Amino acid sequence: MTRLSRREPRSRSLRRTPAVFLSMVLAVTAAPSPATASPAAVKAPDLGTNVTVFDPSMPVSSIQAKLDATYAAQVDNEMGTSRFAFLFKPGTYGTAEQPLQVKVGYYTEISGLGANPGDVVINGKVEAYNRCLSSDPANPNCIALVNFWRTVSNLTVNINGAGQDGCRQTANFWAVSQAVSLRRVEFTGGTLSLMDYCTAGPQYASGGFIADSKLPATTNGSQQQWLTRNSSVASWSNAVWNQVFSGVDGAPDDSAFPDPPYTTLAKTPVSREKPFLFVDSRGKYQVRVPAAARNTSGTSWNAKSGKVLPLSDFYVAKPGDSVAKINLALALGKHLLLTPGVYDIARSIQVTRPNTVVLGIGHATLTAVNGATPLDLADVPGVIVAGVTIDAGTEESPVLLRVGRGKGVTSPSNPTTLSDVYFRVGGPHIGKTNIALEVNSDDVLIDHTWVWRGDHGVEGFTQGVNGDTDRWRTNTGRYGAVINGDDVTATGLFVEHFQKYNTVWNGERGTTVLYQNELPYDPPTQADWMNGSTLGYAGYKVGNRVRQHRLYGAGVYVFNQNNPSIHTANGFEVPSTPGVELHHIMTVNLSAGVIDHVVNGVGAAADTTKVGQPVFVTSY
């Protein structure tokens, strides 16, 4: 590892750089040293037109108007290309009489710029409500099932519902589903509800992830599955199918599983908190990069481990920047900050140096062009990719994100880490890939991902002229996550709708804490959904040669709406050996199709006589 970390001084690299690249190199490396910058000389970095930085001296009414206008544009913009980040400098926003009430729509990030969550206080709310999908007043179909792709982090919310209707005044509503991250947040002065019970039903919600946060009394409501990691909670009420707590102070006891269906781990086996932007006491922008840790519980706010990087150490990319320029900056030792927007990637962004940070803000999105692999990481320790969405393009990619080739040097104490990295195959346009996420390196941490082959999207693209049958042929993704490396840990692994195995885990000593899967909705016939002579593909497959694997809190759901007669033999398929342990697993029928067994022929069928009723296996 020492050999890999040693690099020649940058001045030598510059002397050897060909002259044709010299102007590009100077553009990348010309930022002033933080040691020589004075407070008077500090100015805000250029983070692009889709980043707004608020200061506590700004009128509350102006901030509210800006946020409301963006929400109005984004509340229904599920498959759009607009991306936004709203960053709050340290201070207090809103008052008891004039609270700041933030509603968070698609592709929107709300983040504090303090060193700690208490440095930015919002007197008011930061909320997500049900989205009403019908204009029929008698049946508005208000749900949170499609409330994806939004982020809140690094602030304190002093809950104040002044001016809201009576139903909403005392709780902060966070009705969301997959690809939604809430990190480093404290709620005070009220309760937190993960269900919006103030709009017309059915009010369903499916998904969710909270980490490194301090939660008040929390109502789960209709949330079907949820992971809370390394946090504290005053109390937790209700559960639907699968509620997992890992390293959470105050988490409910799980000894009565499956009634209620809680899964509680006292410690998180491997964790690393997501890097974040902050402004130091001199007004300079920095990025804190927390260190990895093992067997932890509670928040990390007081931890001093890790490092702080000046933003001048980052190449700040904007949509339209060439991959050649980005790769040159990475090769020269820069980290990468992706500002909000959609980036067309026709050749791989290549991360080859250990400890490189790739941080996206405002749901920066990399879209494959001409069958490219948008992001390719070398087998080196300590690489971090966070806050990035990767989309398949219209020509098939072999893989969308490749982590290593399985031939390098890695580090158990410094794992390559993927935090809030999301994948889409279809949705905004036709998408094609063989594999979405491929992990070949050892010692990798996956901390919250949604790997999604689109079950809905822009009309005429993912659904096609012949509906679901056409989508099965044109919007193609065979495998969601393929894990070949050893000692890989996943906390919050959501993988859905792929056409063969959604997850294949071939590496030894893997650990997953919360797994959520829906099998594909759209196989046209049983013949299209066969694995040799086996009926279909399990939602979670552990390789036949694996001897040690652990899975905690997992669900596989079936909804074969295109052909309800289709069967899948097993939700989970694993080798029968003492070192492979599955804890608190289940299958659920969502009203079409059948999963015959939970795991390896064990467990009753999830069929249409049990719609919405999990079939549990406590341990296998």
Q: Dump pLDDT digits (tens) for 430-459.
A: 999 999 999 999 999 999 999 999 988 874
pLDDT > 70: percent of the chain: 91
The DSSP symbol for 249 reads: B
CA distance 270 to 510: 11
Is the per-residue pLDDT at 380 higher than 50?
A: yes
Give the pLDDT of residue 11.
35
Query: Mind listing the pLDDT tens digit for each residue in 111-166?
Result: 999 999 999 999 999 999 999 998 898 889 999 999 999 999 999 999 999 999 99
Is the per-residue pLDDT at 33 higher than 90?
A: no
The mean pLDDT of 400-412, rounded to a whole number, is 94
Give the pLDDT of residue 456.
83
Give the pLDDT of residue 467.
52
Give the pLDDT of residue 460.
43
- Which residue bears the tokens 């919600």? 205
- Average pLDDT value over all residues in the chain: 92
Q: Report the SS3 class of residue 117.
A: helix
Q: Report the SS3 class of residue 535.
A: strand
pLDDT > 90: percent of the chain: 87
pLDDT classification of 42: cutoffs 50, 70, 90: low
Question: Could you tell me whether strands 489-496 and 510-518 are parallel, antiparallel, or unpaired per DSSP bridges?
Answer: parallel
Beta-carbon-side half-sphere exposure of residue 363 (alpha carbons within 13 Å): 28
Q: Report the SS3 class of residue 543.
A: coil
Query: Mind listing the pLDDT tens digit for each residue in 207-236?
Result: 899 999 999 999 999 999 999 999 999 999
| pTM metric for this prediction | 0.93
Query: Mind listing the pLDDT tens digit for each residue in 281-301?
Result: 999 999 999 999 999 999 999
Tokens of 530: 């066969």
Is the per-residue pLDDT at 28 higher than 50?
A: no
SS3 content of the chain, % helix, strand, coil (to 5): 10, 45, 45
Is the per-residue pLDDT at 16 higher than 50?
A: no
CA distance 407 to 393: 28
Task: List Cβ neighbours of 153 (8 Å cut-off, separation of 6 or more).
Answer: 109, 110, 111, 112, 181, 182, 183, 184, 185, 274, 276
Beta-bridge partners for 153: 111, 183
pLDDT classification of 465: cutoffs 50, 70, 90: very low
For the chain, the C-alpha Rg in angstroms (whole number) is 23
Tokens of 223: 């949330």
Is the per-residue pLDDT at 521 higher than 50?
A: yes
CA distance 460 to 164: 40
The full length of the chain comes to 620
CA distance 88 to 119: 10
Give the pLDDT of residue 468.
56
Is the per-residue pLDDT at 17 higher than 90?
A: no
Closest CA to 447 of 134, 229, 278, 123: 229
Closest CA to 469 of 519, 525, 428: 525
**CA distances, 122 to each of 100, 160, 333 (Å):** 7, 9, 37
Closest CA to 230 of 250, 253, 208: 250
Closest CA to 314 of 378, 359, 381, 376: 359
Question: Could you tell me whether strands 615-619 and 580-592 are parallel, antiparallel, or unpaired per DSSP bridges?
Answer: antiparallel
Catalytic residues: 518
Give the pLDDT of residue 303.
80
pLDDT classification of 44: cutoffs 50, 70, 90: confident
Question: Residue 137 CB: number of other CB atoms within 10 A?
Answer: 8
Q: Report the SS3 class of residue 214.
A: strand
Question: What's the angle, vertex CA 187, arms to CA 184 and CA 190, rounded to 5?
Answer: 170
**HEC string of 81-92?**
CCCEEEEECCEE
CB 190 within 8 Å of CB 164: no
Closest CA to 355 of 278, 293, 437, 410: 410
Task: List Cβ neighbours of 460 (8 Å cut-off, separation of 6 or more).
Answer: none
- Output b/e per residue, 310-329; b: 16+ Cβ within 10 A: bbbebbbbbbebebeebbbb
pLDDT classification of 23: cutoffs 50, 70, 90: very low
